[in-house]
Amino acid sequence: MKIKTIIIDDEPLAIDIIKNYCDSIDDIEVIKCFTNPVEAMGFVSLNTVDLIFLDIEMPLLTGIEFIDTLKVKPLFVFTTAYPEFAVEGFELEANDYLIKPISYKRFLKAVNKIIHSFGQNLNNSTRVFSPSEPNESNSTGDRFLFVKSDYESLKIFIDDIVYIEGLKDYLKINLSDGKSVLTLSNFKNLLEKLPQNNFLRVHNSYVVNLCYINSIQRNRILIGQQRLPISETYKKQFFERIKI
Query: Tell me: the pLDDT tens digits for 143-172?
Result: 788 888 877 888 898 889 999 999 988 999
pLDDT at 211 over 60: yes
Going along the chain from its start, the domains and CATH numbers come out as 3-118 (3.40.50.2300), 144-242 (2.40.50.1020)
> What pLDDT, in 10s, does the model give residues 50-74?
999 999 989 889 998 999 888 888 9
- Is pTM beyond 0.75? Reply is no
Q: How far apart are CA 139 and CA 16, in angstroms?
A: 44
Partners of 51 in the β-ladder: 5, 75
pLDDT higher than 80, residue 142: no
d(CA 93, CA 18): 21
Say if residues 130 and 178 touch (Cβ distance below 8 Å): no
